[in-house]
Structure 1
């Protein structure tokens, strides 16, 4: 697992984002820690910044904190999806004492996200349209993708989020941040993201334990609603 790359979860050998309680002597010491009961001391490399626009605007989203000249390595797909730069590689539910179990499923990730304040909408564009029609108030939509574990090749599984950049129908402009990579409005094959459910989420996350390429697929799981207020992540 040493060389594997993840979009959402924290790599067990990540020297920046391990809990203070389990970090090795060679870890990067952050400016501060956020203590969460039941979790521990979470490294945070800058104060949390909340986005004021859901538009695809990397230089200005969350004051540019997703960019490499600021705190790109400390924010993952969940931070970008929720439009909240925690600068802690946030995990679903962690702020509320919840940890994803080993071999987690889409339902486990949704549980954590709901604890953080997100709301499950459904699995299709039609579900988004219906939700928008009832007048849910300020907020935006995100899509959740899940890569299931492949124990034979040493892949523990992962999750990925994409964010809708428009607040009105046809909801056909999305973007994403793959782990500590840069923000983009392309899917993993370089195509503009029209809808997460139809985008290409196949990616080489290797090498695996044998040194070979490890090509995995993140399958679309569901859409969720991120209210403009009340979401709290770390």
Structure 2
């Protein structure tokens, strides 16, 4: 039986031939490949563009428009958007530093720390209202990590998702679901004011009919807040 072809917010799917890592010397599709020891050759479709701080909700202006469909929207995921760095490679936490992640909140968090993000608070216990008092001295912005744990009963390998804070004073957040468009709504179409209570549920199909027992419905649950310091994060 053929494995289901799921859509991922953060991870690179095995069937995503545009973004899977190649062995060094076997590159075939992308115009450029970035070789990382212990990882392989990472396809990159355009040079990295880093956005400026302070950030705001401005999809056409972020990273010179690289998150828009007329440029490199499909090649940037939630991790790219949350850090405001368009690597155009479907960036993965820790990959630039030789780390291959598994879907576990602590593992993904530690990989992001390798990339330069700063851990904030005590995982799920920290409230969005407390972030103002937890802001580091560095210029930057807060991000939120959600984890969808593997469910082997339906062959779901798990995934992660990130959202970013565009306006801390008014708690306004936005996100980019995989290669999809940037939005300031959650997965149910609600404005994001608190990532820990937002709707991060996805119907993966196959029928996508309400009440269909064959549908695979997965949920991303809030795990932790982190801080993305401007000029200090290095991802690929």
Per-residue deviation, 1:23: 11
In the other structure, the counterpart of 1:130 is 133
Task: Please list, as runs of the form range in 1=range in 2, the aligned pairs for 1:86-165 lying within 5 A after superposition.
Answer: 86-101=87-102, 104-122=103-121, 123-132=126-135, 136-165=137-166
In the other structure, the counterpart of 1:4 is 6
Would you say 1:217 and 2:228 are equivalent positions? no
In the other structure, the counterpart of 1:19 is 21
The answer to whether the 8 Å contact 1:19/1:40 transfers is yes
The answer to whether the 8 Å contact 1:76/1:179 transfers is yes
SS of the counterpart of 2:90?
coil
Normalising by structure 2, we get a TM-score of: 0.90
The answer to whether the 8 Å contact 1:92/1:109 transfers is yes
The answer to whether the 8 Å contact 1:204/1:213 transfers is yes
Normalising by structure 1, we get a TM-score of: 0.90
In the other structure, the counterpart of 1:52 is 52
Q: What is the RMSD computed on CA atoms of the aligned residues?
A: 2.1
Q: List gaps (5 residues or longer) in structure 1.
A: none
Q: Which runs of 4+ in 1 moved over 4 A?
A: none
Per-residue deviation, 1:40: 0.8
Once the two structures are superposed, what CA deviation does each residue of 1:104-138 show, in whole Å capped at 9, x if it has no partner? 21001001100000011023224412212xx5220
SS of the counterpart of 2:67?
coil
Cα gap change, 1:202 to 1:93, in 2 (>3 Å): same
In the other structure, the counterpart of 1:195 is 194
Per-residue deviation, 1:52: 1.2
Cα gap change, 1:214 to 1:154, in 2 (>3 Å): same
Once the two structures are superposed, what CA deviation does each residue of 1:34-76 show, in whole Å capped at 9, x if it has no partner? 0111111100000000011421111111111001110011000
Cα gap change, 1:221 to 1:15, in 2 (>3 Å): same
Distance 1:187 1:23 in 2: 40
Count of matched residue pairs: 225
